[in-house]
Chains A and B, each alone.
Chain A
Amino acid sequence: MITQQPIQPALLEQEMQDSTCGAVVAFVGKVRNHHQGKKVTSLTYEAHIPMVQKIFNEIIMEAKEKFGVRDVRVVHRVGDLNIGDVAVWIGAQSAHRKEAFQACEYTINELKSRAPIWKKEHYQEGEAQWVSCHQH
Protein backbone atom coordinates (compact mmCIF):
# COMPACT_ATOMS: atom_id res chain seq x y z
CA MET A 1 0.00 0.00 0.00
CA ILE A 2 0.88 3.68 -0.34
CA THR A 3 0.77 5.98 2.67
CA GLN A 4 1.42 9.63 3.45
CA GLN A 5 1.96 8.82 7.12
CA PRO A 6 5.31 7.85 8.68
CA ILE A 7 6.03 4.12 8.32
CA GLN A 8 6.53 2.31 11.63
CA PRO A 9 8.46 -0.92 10.95
CA ALA A 10 7.96 -2.33 14.47
CA LEU A 11 4.17 -2.12 14.17
CA LEU A 12 4.18 -3.69 10.69
CA GLU A 13 6.42 -6.50 11.85
CA GLN A 14 4.06 -7.27 14.70
CA GLU A 15 1.34 -7.91 12.13
CA MET A 16 3.40 -10.69 10.54
CA GLN A 17 1.96 -13.32 12.84
CA ASP A 18 1.48 -16.78 11.44
CA SER A 19 2.21 -19.81 13.56
CA THR A 20 3.19 -21.88 10.49
CA CYS A 21 6.03 -19.41 9.81
CA GLY A 22 9.42 -19.61 11.45
CA ALA A 23 10.93 -16.71 9.51
CA VAL A 24 10.05 -13.06 9.03
CA VAL A 25 12.42 -11.07 6.81
CA ALA A 26 11.92 -7.32 6.50
CA PHE A 27 13.60 -4.75 4.28
CA VAL A 28 13.54 -1.15 5.48
CA GLY A 29 14.49 1.49 2.91
CA LYS A 30 15.48 4.82 4.48
CA VAL A 31 16.29 8.28 3.20
CA ARG A 32 20.05 8.82 3.12
CA ASN A 33 21.85 12.13 3.22
CA HIS A 34 23.91 11.81 0.05
CA HIS A 35 23.59 10.88 -3.60
CA GLN A 36 26.37 10.91 -6.19
CA GLY A 37 28.53 13.20 -4.08
CA LYS A 38 25.76 15.70 -3.30
CA LYS A 39 24.45 16.41 0.17
CA VAL A 40 20.74 15.56 0.24
CA THR A 41 18.57 17.43 2.74
CA SER A 42 15.14 15.89 2.02
CA LEU A 43 13.12 13.94 -0.56
CA THR A 44 9.72 14.21 -2.16
CA TYR A 45 8.09 11.01 -3.39
CA GLU A 46 5.24 11.05 -5.89
CA ALA A 47 3.25 8.04 -7.14
CA HIS A 48 0.55 7.08 -9.60
CA ILE A 49 -1.32 5.41 -6.77
CA PRO A 50 -3.91 3.18 -8.55
CA MET A 51 -1.21 1.73 -10.79
CA VAL A 52 1.23 1.30 -7.92
CA GLN A 53 -1.39 -0.68 -5.96
CA LYS A 54 -1.98 -2.91 -8.98
CA ILE A 55 1.75 -3.49 -9.51
CA PHE A 56 2.36 -4.15 -5.81
CA ASN A 57 -0.37 -6.82 -5.91
CA GLU A 58 1.18 -8.38 -9.03
CA ILE A 59 4.67 -8.44 -7.48
CA ILE A 60 3.36 -9.92 -4.22
CA MET A 61 1.55 -12.68 -6.13
CA GLU A 62 4.69 -13.41 -8.16
CA ALA A 63 6.85 -13.56 -5.03
CA LYS A 64 4.43 -15.94 -3.33
CA GLU A 65 4.30 -18.20 -6.39
CA LYS A 66 8.06 -18.19 -7.07
CA PHE A 67 9.24 -18.77 -3.51
CA GLY A 68 6.24 -20.37 -1.82
CA VAL A 69 6.19 -17.85 1.01
CA ARG A 70 3.10 -17.45 3.18
CA ASP A 71 2.82 -13.69 2.99
CA VAL A 72 4.46 -10.60 1.54
CA ARG A 73 3.55 -7.04 2.48
CA VAL A 74 4.71 -3.76 0.96
CA VAL A 75 4.24 -0.22 2.28
CA HIS A 76 5.68 2.80 0.46
CA ARG A 77 5.46 6.36 1.66
CA VAL A 78 4.79 9.41 -0.53
CA GLY A 79 5.08 13.14 0.15
CA ASP A 80 7.94 15.00 1.82
CA LEU A 81 10.44 12.86 3.72
CA ASN A 82 13.41 13.86 5.88
CA ILE A 83 16.78 12.16 6.24
CA GLY A 84 16.38 8.90 8.17
CA ASP A 85 12.66 8.56 7.44
CA VAL A 86 11.48 5.16 6.24
CA ALA A 87 10.51 5.33 2.56
CA VAL A 88 9.61 1.69 2.06
CA TRP A 89 8.95 -1.38 4.18
CA ILE A 90 8.73 -4.91 2.82
CA GLY A 91 8.02 -7.93 4.95
CA ALA A 92 7.97 -11.58 3.93
CA GLN A 93 7.16 -14.55 6.12
CA SER A 94 7.56 -18.23 5.45
CA ALA A 95 8.18 -21.54 7.17
CA HIS A 96 11.96 -21.23 6.63
CA ARG A 97 14.30 -18.26 6.21
CA LYS A 98 15.67 -18.87 2.70
CA GLU A 99 12.35 -18.31 0.93
CA ALA A 100 11.57 -15.23 3.03
CA PHE A 101 14.96 -13.65 2.14
CA GLN A 102 14.43 -14.44 -1.55
CA ALA A 103 10.88 -13.09 -1.61
CA CYS A 104 11.95 -9.90 0.14
CA GLU A 105 14.80 -9.26 -2.29
CA TYR A 106 12.66 -10.07 -5.32
CA THR A 107 9.94 -7.68 -4.14
CA ILE A 108 12.23 -4.67 -3.60
CA ASN A 109 14.02 -5.26 -6.90
CA GLU A 110 10.77 -5.48 -8.86
CA LEU A 111 9.29 -2.50 -7.04
CA LYS A 112 12.32 -0.42 -7.99
CA SER A 113 12.06 -1.26 -11.67
CA ARG A 114 8.27 -1.38 -12.17
CA ALA A 115 6.30 0.71 -9.67
CA PRO A 116 5.44 4.20 -10.97
CA ILE A 117 6.97 6.08 -8.04
CA TRP A 118 9.23 9.10 -8.49
CA LYS A 119 11.69 10.78 -6.19
CA LYS A 120 12.81 14.39 -6.11
CA GLU A 121 15.97 15.09 -4.19
CA HIS A 122 16.51 18.40 -2.46
CA TYR A 123 20.16 19.32 -1.97
CA GLN A 124 22.11 21.50 0.39
CA GLU A 125 23.41 23.30 -2.69
CA GLY A 126 21.84 23.57 -6.12
CA GLU A 127 18.46 22.91 -7.62
CA ALA A 128 16.28 19.95 -6.61
CA GLN A 129 16.24 17.10 -9.12
CA TRP A 130 14.04 14.18 -10.13
CA VAL A 131 16.17 11.06 -9.76
CA SER A 132 16.33 8.40 -12.44
CA CYS A 133 16.95 4.86 -11.29
CA HIS A 134 18.91 4.03 -14.44
CA GLN A 135 21.52 6.55 -13.26
CA HIS A 136 22.59 4.27 -10.40
Chain B
Amino acid sequence: MIQIKVLYFAHLREKRGRGEEILQIQKGYSAGNLLDEIFKDPISKHHLRVAINNEYLGMDTILSNGDEVVFVPPVAGG
Protein backbone atom coordinates (compact mmCIF):
# COMPACT_ATOMS: atom_id res chain seq x y z
CA MET B 1 0.00 0.00 0.00
CA ILE B 2 1.03 3.61 -0.57
CA GLN B 3 -0.21 6.85 0.99
CA ILE B 4 -1.36 9.81 -1.06
CA LYS B 5 -3.07 13.13 -0.44
CA VAL B 6 -6.08 14.15 -2.53
CA LEU B 7 -7.31 17.74 -2.75
CA TYR B 8 -10.82 18.70 -3.87
CA PHE B 9 -12.01 21.99 -5.32
CA ALA B 10 -15.24 23.54 -6.60
CA HIS B 11 -18.08 21.07 -7.25
CA LEU B 12 -15.86 18.09 -6.36
CA ARG B 13 -15.18 19.57 -2.90
CA GLU B 14 -18.90 20.06 -2.38
CA LYS B 15 -19.68 16.57 -3.64
CA ARG B 16 -17.00 14.93 -1.48
CA GLY B 17 -17.85 17.11 1.53
CA ARG B 18 -14.21 17.94 2.31
CA GLY B 19 -11.27 19.83 0.88
CA GLU B 20 -8.65 17.16 1.28
CA GLU B 21 -7.96 13.68 2.59
CA ILE B 22 -5.14 11.21 3.03
CA LEU B 23 -5.81 7.84 1.41
CA GLN B 24 -4.08 4.47 1.44
CA ILE B 25 -4.21 2.84 -1.98
CA GLN B 26 -2.76 -0.22 -3.65
CA LYS B 27 0.54 0.09 -5.45
CA GLY B 28 0.14 0.35 -9.22
CA TYR B 29 -3.03 2.45 -9.08
CA SER B 30 -3.34 5.13 -11.75
CA ALA B 31 -4.95 8.53 -11.21
CA GLY B 32 -7.90 7.29 -13.27
CA ASN B 33 -8.29 4.18 -11.06
CA LEU B 34 -8.33 6.43 -8.00
CA LEU B 35 -10.91 8.73 -9.55
CA ASP B 36 -13.18 5.76 -10.34
CA GLU B 37 -12.89 4.61 -6.77
CA ILE B 38 -13.68 8.00 -5.20
CA PHE B 39 -16.47 9.13 -7.52
CA LYS B 40 -18.73 6.36 -8.78
CA ASP B 41 -21.05 8.87 -10.43
CA PRO B 42 -19.92 9.43 -14.04
CA ILE B 43 -21.27 13.02 -14.16
CA SER B 44 -18.67 14.31 -11.72
CA LYS B 45 -15.84 13.06 -13.99
CA HIS B 46 -17.00 15.17 -16.90
CA HIS B 47 -14.10 17.17 -18.37
CA LEU B 48 -11.82 16.50 -15.40
CA ARG B 49 -8.05 16.79 -15.64
CA VAL B 50 -5.59 15.53 -13.07
CA ALA B 51 -2.63 17.34 -11.52
CA ILE B 52 -0.05 15.39 -9.55
CA ASN B 53 2.34 17.43 -7.40
CA ASN B 54 1.11 20.60 -9.14
CA GLU B 55 1.70 19.29 -12.68
CA TYR B 56 -0.99 18.35 -15.21
CA LEU B 57 -0.45 14.69 -16.14
CA GLY B 58 -2.44 11.93 -17.85
CA MET B 59 -5.13 9.96 -16.03
CA ASP B 60 -3.06 6.83 -16.73
CA THR B 61 -0.17 8.11 -14.57
CA ILE B 62 0.73 5.58 -11.87
CA LEU B 63 0.64 7.13 -8.41
CA SER B 64 3.62 7.07 -6.05
CA ASN B 65 3.87 7.22 -2.28
CA GLY B 66 3.53 10.80 -1.03
CA ASP B 67 1.91 12.16 -4.21
CA GLU B 68 -0.52 15.07 -3.96
CA VAL B 69 -3.37 14.50 -6.38
CA VAL B 70 -5.86 17.11 -7.55
CA PHE B 71 -8.74 16.31 -9.85
CA VAL B 72 -9.19 19.56 -11.72
CA PRO B 73 -12.72 20.52 -12.78
CA PRO B 74 -13.04 22.82 -15.79
CA VAL B 75 -11.21 26.01 -14.85
CA ALA B 76 -12.82 29.44 -15.05
CA GLY B 77 -10.27 32.05 -14.00
CA GLY B 78 -10.18 35.53 -15.42
Binding site for B on A (CB under 8 A): 29, 45-48, 50-52, 54, 76, 87-88, 108, 111-120, 130-135
Contacts and interface: CB of A to CB of B under 8 A. Distances in A.
A115 B77 contact: yes
A120 B10 CA distance: 8
B76 A119 contact: yes
Nearest to B51: A51
B78 A87 contact: yes
Given A51-B54, A118-B9, A120-B10, A130 B73 contact: yes
A119 B73 CA distance: 11
Interface residues of B, number: 17
B3 to A, nearest CB: 20
Interface of B: 7, 9-11, 13, 47, 51, 54, 56, 70, 72-78
A117 B77 CA distance: 5
A76 B7 CA distance: 21
B74 A108 contact: no
Given A51-B70, A130-B10, A134-B47, A115 B75 contact: yes
Nearest to B74: A132
A131 B51 contact: no
A60 to B, nearest CB: 15
Q: Which of B11, B51, B72, B75 has the most CB of A within 10 A?
A: B75
Contact of A116 (B13, B72, B78): B72
Contacts of B47: 132, 134
